[in-house]
Amino acid sequence: MARIIDGKEISAAFKERVKAQVEELKSKGITPGLAVIIVEGDPASRIYVNNKKKACEQLGIYSEEHALPNDVTQEELLALISSLNNRSDINGILCQLPLPPHLDEEKVINSISPNKDVDAFHPMNVGRIMIGNFDFLPCTPAGIMEMLRYCDIDVEGKHCVVIGRSNIVGKPMAMLMLHKNATVTICHSKTRNLKEITRTADILVAAVGKANFVTADMVKPGTVVIDVGMNRLEDGKITGDVDFKAVEPISSAITPVPGGVGPMTIAVLMQNTVTAARRQNGFI
């Protein structure tokens, strides 16, 4: 029977540390502030934004939402970001992705000040992650690393296989594991002999966005399995990229969906916002 890596439990402990940092800043007259931009139209995005607002309320972080209509222009969106970049009471800026097709995501990400880029998507922050000299870490990969640390799962010397090469999860996940002295393989849609590669993993991270993609025959006994997927089935239920029922009995530890990686993603966003506030006010 695998150990269930409980993201709710781990995120609660993590957020207590963040809350203490918020209270310390408030004692100095500083309230960390997060601005979230959402272009309406994607139901999943609305859920994510609401969860982020709720987390801010719990931790005492000031938050404001900028909900824009689906037909907002590129110029209007960039003008909003520019105004937020110039506000001293806003320490972090997040633009919820995906954006409608008529908006250029790359230009939007690049327009956010690197000092306020709490998603760590700006090319400057991505480059700093590559060399290991970073201010912010991407929320989902950093959350996964925190979960492994909390569970005393050491990645040093392990073979970590990441399925998925997105800029949001796959690539930064590989870099963070590499920084901790893991041997890392990234697999993707063009990978040959995928099953043979995944069966060599000591730690397997699934981030492909396909329900139940990872099956039992892709996992060697004793593997730690991290499921980043969040897929809605026809019956409305949420499931991950891993066939949990089949894989759980042969893994040594596994994250559930929901209740696994998701809560830690938001917890790290809160930490990034507080880190931004501390840096902008000269406390780091």
What pLDDT, on a 0 to 100 scale, did the predictor assign at position 1? 80
Q: Which of 283, 273, 274, 271 is nearest to 15 (CA)?
A: 271
Q: Which letter does DSSP use for residue 117 in this model?
A: B
What are the backbone dihedrals phi and psi of residue 67, each rounded to the nearest 5 degrees, phi first?
Answer: -90, 120
- CATH architecture under which domain 139-262 falls: 3-Layer(aba) Sandwich (3.40)
Grouping H, G, I as helix, E, B as strand and the rest as coil, residue 36 is strand
Count of other CB atoms within 10 angstroms of residue 62: 17
Rounded to the nearest 10°, the torsion over CA 81, 77, 207, 230 is: 110
The predicted model scores a pTM of: 0.95
For 206-221, how does the pLDDT look when each residue is reduced to its tens digit (9 = 90+)? Answer: 999 999 999 999 999 9
CA dist 215 and 134 (Å) reads 35
- The runs of H, that is alpha helices, within the chain are 7-27, 43-59, 74-85, 105-111, 123-131, 139-150, 170-179, 194-198, 244-247, 261-280
CA dist 30 and 143 (Å) reads 26
What pLDDT, on a 0 to 100 scale, did the predictor assign at position 90? 98
- Least confident stretch, 187-191, 232-236, 276-280: 232-236
- Is residue 194 within 8 Å of 218, Cβ to Cβ? yes
Cβ neighbours of residue 180 under 8 Å, at least 6 residues apart?
A: 145, 155, 156
* Residue spans per domain, the chain: 29-113, 139-262
- Tell me, yes or no, if the two domains 29-113 and 139-262 fold the same way: yes
What pLDDT, on a 0 to 100 scale, did the predictor assign at position 272? 98
- Is residue 239 within 8 Å of 233, Cβ to Cβ? yes
For 50-80, how does the pLDDT look when each residue is reduced to its tens digit (9 = 90+)? Answer: 999 999 999 999 999 999 999 999 999 999 9
Kindly report the CATH number that applies to the domain delimited by 29-113: 3.40.50.10860
pLDDT confidence bin for 47, thresholds 50/70/90: confident
* Strand 159-163 relative to strand 33-39, pairing: unpaired
For 160-184, how does the pLDDT look when each residue is reduced to its tens digit (9 = 90+)? Answer: 999 999 999 999 999 999 999 999 9
Query: Which residues lie across from 184 on neighbouring strands?
Result: 160
What pLDDT, on a 0 to 100 scale, did the predictor assign at position 232? 87
What's the mean pLDDT when you consider all of the chain? 96
Per-residue CA distances from 65 to 42, 110, 186, 270 (Å): 15, 20, 36, 15
Q: Is the pLDDT of residue 284 over 90?
A: no
Q: Is the pLDDT of residue 82 over 80?
A: yes
Kindly list the catalytic residues: 52, 96, 119
pLDDT confidence bin for 101, thresholds 50/70/90: very high
Q: Is the pLDDT of residue 242 over 90?
A: yes
- The runs of H, that is alpha helices, within 4-122 are 7-27, 43-59, 74-85, 105-111
